[in-house]
Amino acid sequence: MQQQHLDARAIAEIVARIVSEVEKVIIGKRKVVTRAVIALLCEGHILLEDVPGLGKTMLARSLAAAVGGSFSRVQFTPDLLPTDITGSMVFDPRTAEFSYREGPVVTNILLADEINRAGPRTQSSLLEAMEERQVSVERQSVQLPRPFFVMATQNPVELEGTFPLPEAQLDRFLMRLAIGYPEIEDERDMLRRFRKNTPLEQVERVATSTEVLDMISAVRQITISEAVEGYLLDIIRATREDDMLEVGASPRAALALARASQAYAACQSRDYVLPDDVREMAPDVLAHRLIATAESELLGTTQADIVERVVAGIEVPVETGNVV
């Protein structure tokens, strides 16, 4: 099917509809909801790191409902096997042949719940799917449907029986986010709204998978001028030279920040990226990819703090009309 070209205004309108629908369930968290949609438009993935009960599962389910995508949920446990995610080859006695039985990873939106409870071998089974949009099962490669979006959750408080995500897997996530507790008025609104109704029943489909793919294609055409490109790369290089970081941002991180900035610009109805877009997305895209020194950890300085300090120290190019 030939993809339809969408301009930035059309993308912003569709994104606004999606965000509005998800906000029927996730109340008072527009920034997090918008970030999730941005990740979807970048064909990226999100790591939600927060305490239980804040709506991480509902965010994934409501987003799937709003875009009309298929949804799967995997509860990660220490005894979970890679084939429980990717699927396996099953022998059919009628044909005397093996055939592929799909795993939950064959979906549009996959919720990997409490991903850090599974062992490293099971965690790594998601790497190929997240990066290459395919899974390999006994020498057979299976292409995953598009869009393919992983929303993984982990509990940062309860550490017993967990396996920290390795840096290689953290780098596969476009953004790491936290939902956080709601404001008092938002929580009161939630209590009144959901006292008698099931939240997900209120979410309507306001976009199709085809429209999402059209938006993904259009976002990649958003212009990044040479000056903004240089600004972005200055930020990336500065993380590699910062004394409070052992490991700075990778080339994959630079590409992720560029794509996230393009998607953010499109959400603002612009077909070009501003330095403000890069600055807005940098903490969420870069912080989880960095490894801080022992000294900075002792001082209580987070990676997000370091990113914000690094960005603040980079000279911003001057805008002239639509050209930066």
Rounded Cα–Cα distance for residues 263 and 109 (Å)? 19
| 239-278 tens-digit pLDDT | 999 998 999 999 999 999 999 999 999 999 999 999 999 9
Listed in order, strand segments (DSSP E) in 14-148 are 46-49, 71-75, 87-92, 97-102, 109-113, 134-137, 140-143
Tens digits of residue pLDDT in 88-118: 888 778 887 777 788 899 999 999 998 888 8
Could you tell me the domains of the chain? 8-215 (3.40.50.300), 222-312 (1.10.8.80)
Query: In this predicted structure, what is the pLDDT of residue 321?
Result: 45
Cis peptide before 147 (omega within 30 of 0): yes
- Measured CA to CA in angstroms, residue 26 lies from 101, 155, 184 at distances of 34, 19, 14
What single-letter DSSP state applies at residue 224?
-
Separation between Cα atoms, residue 230 and residue 236, nearest integer Å: 10
Those residues whose C-beta lies under 8 Å from the C-beta of residue 241, and which sit 6 or more positions away, are 248
Do the Cβ atoms of 12 and 117 come closer than 8 Å? no
pLDDT the model gives residue 164: 77
Amino acid at 133: R
C-alpha dist (Å) from residue 144 to 102, 135, 141: 10, 7, 10
